[in-house]
Amino acid sequence: MSWYEEKILPRLINVACSTRPARRQREKLVPRARGDVLEIGFGSGLNLPYYDRARVRRIWGLEPSDGMRRLASDAIRRVPLEVELIDLPGEDIPLEDNSVDTVLVTYTLCTIPEAERALEGIRRVLQPEGELLYCEHGKAPDPGVLKWQERLNPVWKRFSGGCNIQRDIPAILGQSGFLVEDDNRMYLPGPRALSYNYWGAARIR
């Protein structure tokens, strides 16, 4: 990783993902996690305050960035939860088949180069009755906004750790063998090209 990716980018992402609209999205989704949880793209631990401790046994946090894991260490110490960090990218999940009750993915599928391969791994480790909880920004429904996404995306990806602002998240989930059971979509406050959000829950089809 470059110096920018290791030292600067984690802090920029941490600030961008700590906005009030993003916090509200986490408040809606994270408390639904239960049992043994795998969080893909654990980042700096921004989801930790929103877990329901009475429902969660343990959390595996998959996070490839050393800079992010360093930021996360303080957050982990502040919560009474069993958290184990795994320093691998989202495409590589070192857990046994059918070993996870909930997979949580927040603002991460946009940055994984091979999102379909990561979702294949998620299907493998998720129990048949388990749930994938997701909150992502992505492809806007309005043609005018979508044009701006197409213009901005190449430059945005270069400076944001590979973040792709025009992925159709529910479509990717469906193509990867998931059935979206709770499908919510809206613009959050902020630049419209960056703020169209998808969130909800999916199960293995």
* Confidence at residue 116, expressed as pLDDT on a 0 to 100 scale: 93
Average pLDDT, the chain: 94
Section 101-106 average pLDDT: 98
pLDDT-based confidence at residue 89 (cuts at 50, 70, 90): confident
Specify the amino acid at residue 77: R
> Which of 46-55, 136-145, 154-163, 164-173 shows the lowest per-residue confidence on average (mean pLDDT)?
154-163
Distance CA 120, CA 99 (A): 14
Question: Mean per-residue pLDDT for 161-165?
Answer: 91
Give the whole-number percent of the chain exceeding pLDDT 90. 83
Q: What is the DSSP letter of 49?
A: G
Closest among 89, 87, 80, 26 to 57, alpha carbons compared: 80
The number of helix segments (H) and strand segments (E) in the chain equals 7, 7
Express each pLDDT in 19-28 by its tens digit: 999 999 999 9
State the pTM of this model.
0.94
Alpha-carbon gap, residue 65 to 70, rounded angstroms:
9
For range 140-154, the mean pLDDT: 97
pLDDT tops 80 at residue 1: no
State percent of the chain over pLDDT 70: 99
| Per-residue confidence (pLDDT) for residue 14, from 0 to 100 | 84
Q: Give residue 4's pLDDT.
A: 74
